[in-house]
């Protein structure tokens, strides 16, 4: 790692630049902690019954974003506000490993969600793989794959080092050794291109399946003839009806997942292109690093926002939880009002007790 990592290079950001980065990361970190914490609470306590595997994967993403926000952003934000890295070299290595591992875990989860949507819409014969009992195996594979590619820099295959503006840490994209170059190319393929390919394949076939449902005989019959559902379904075989319903009922969830993937790619693609540019062409000025890096960090917040806005089931869970809490408060308020409305009776009992106590010594 570069030992001159205290922010004293003349080519770094201006004081105003560091201040803006620090304020941005502070707001982003606090917002991400609050929003992802709320999503975690609803997924755990909201008692949503739809697609348990889907909820577990969304919970995994929310926890991942929460952990990035609560651990990494305070380190980077405080350093940016001071214009230099405030902590040790070991902390920088931990920061890079922590953020990269969780980011790859997020990308793995998005790829698994895409596969789940593909199975539900296109290959329902494999739906047994999406049962709750298999969730622990899927989560293990997600994190084993993540640590498999983020651990090598800890043992000598490339390194974790400072970003060009020196207040956060990442993979040594600018390294020119054979170890740096081979590792950087490998993770670009295995941790980005592979995932984008899986998601593209899955959603292409899911969207194609949705188009089939819209243009199928049963879909056209329901839209154009005005016949009721039962009458229409009686004219088609059971397999066609079941397939149509599975595709159409999962459409909104699929669109939400696709929106989450799109927002994630919008956030991370500029950073990936910048990294590839640095690998093959050469390094750029520190200020050029800032915008792609800040966009990538925003993904910890956008996932939760997209889910909260587009998931009708999530909104229903929020309403049910607040309604349940209000119902708990209402009886307490009623009891308090009832007690306050009976002062005379209470006073009489106290007076009666007091009278009895006063005459006991005389007996």
pLDDT tens-place string over residues 280-296 = 888 888 888 899 999 99
Query: Who has greater pLDDT, 221 or 306?
Result: 306
User: Which tokens belong to 274?
Assistant: 């910048």
**pTM of the complete model:** 0.80
Round to whole Å and give the CA distance between 44 and 102.
21
**Tell me, what's the pLDDT at 303?**
85
Label residue 241 by pLDDT band (50, 70, 90): low
The 8-class DSSP code of residue 152 comes to: G
Q: Does residue 88 sit in helix, strand or coil?
A: coil
Which residues fall within 8 angstroms of residue 317, CB to CB, at 6 or more apart?
42, 43, 46, 47, 48
The 8-class DSSP code of residue 162 comes to: E
Residues in the chain: 363
Query: Who has greater pLDDT, 214 or 84?
Result: 84
Round to whole Å and give the CA distance between 261 and 292.
17
Round to whole Å and give the CA distance between 10 and 221.
70
The 8-class DSSP code of residue 84 comes to: S
Query: Who has greater pLDDT, 69 or 237?
Result: 69
Label residue 52 by pLDDT band (50, 70, 90): confident
Query: Who has greater pLDDT, 306 or 254?
Result: 306
Q: Does residue 268 sit in helix, strand or coil?
A: helix
Across 39-48, 74-83, 254-263, 319-328, least confident range = 319-328
User: Does the pLDDT at position 109 exceed 60?
Assistant: yes
Which residues fall within 8 angstroms of residue 337, CB to CB, at 6 or more apart?
none
User: Does the pLDDT at position 236 exceed 70?
Assistant: no
Q: What angle do CA 64, 66, 68 make, to 5 degrees?
A: 70
């Amino acid at each position: 790692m570069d030992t001159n990592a205290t922010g004293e290079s003349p080519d770094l950001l201006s004081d105003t630049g560091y201040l803006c980065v620090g304020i941005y990361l502070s707001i982003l970190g606090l917002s991400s902690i609050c929003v992802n914490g709320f999503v975690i609470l609803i997924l755990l306590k909201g008692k949503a019954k739809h697609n348990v595997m889907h909820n577990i994967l969304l919970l995994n993403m929310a926890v991942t974003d929460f952990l990035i926000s609560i651990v990494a952003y305070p380190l980077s934000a405080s350093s940016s506000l001071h214009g230099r890295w405030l902590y040790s070299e070991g902390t920088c290595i931990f920061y890079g490993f922590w953020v990269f591992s969780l980011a790859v875990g997020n990308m793995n989860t998005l790829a698994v969600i895409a596969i789940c949507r593909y199975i539900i819409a296109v290959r329902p014969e494999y739906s047994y793989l999406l049962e709750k009992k298999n969730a622990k195996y899927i989560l293990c594979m997600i994190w084993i794959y993540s640590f498999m590619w983020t651990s090598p820099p800890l043992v000598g295959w490339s390194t974790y080092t400072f970003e060009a503006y020196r207040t956060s840490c990442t993979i040594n994209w600018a390294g020119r050794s054979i170890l740096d170059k081979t590792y950087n190319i490998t993770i670009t393929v295995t941790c980005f291109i592979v995932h984008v390919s899986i998601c593209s394949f899955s959603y292409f076939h899911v969207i194609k399946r949705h188009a089939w449902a819209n243009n199928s005989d049963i879909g056209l019959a329901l839209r154009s003839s005005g016949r009721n559902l039962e009458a229409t379904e009686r004219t088609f075989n059971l397999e066609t009806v079941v397939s149509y319903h599975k595709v159409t009922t999962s459409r909104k969830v699929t669109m939400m997942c696709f929106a989450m993937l799109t927002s994630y790619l919008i956030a991370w693609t500029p950073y990936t292109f910048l990294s590839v540019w640095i690998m093959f062409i050469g390094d750029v000025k520190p200020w050029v690093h800032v915008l792609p890096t800040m966009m990538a960090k925003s993904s910890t917040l956008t996932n939760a926002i997209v889910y909260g806005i587009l998931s009708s089931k999530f909104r229903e869970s929020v309403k049910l939880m607040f309604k349940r809490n209000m119902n708990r408060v209402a009886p307490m308020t009623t009891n308090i009002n009832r007690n306050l409305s009976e002062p005379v009776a209470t006073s009489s009992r106290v007076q009666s007790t007091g009278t009895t106590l006063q005459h006991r010594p005389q007996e």
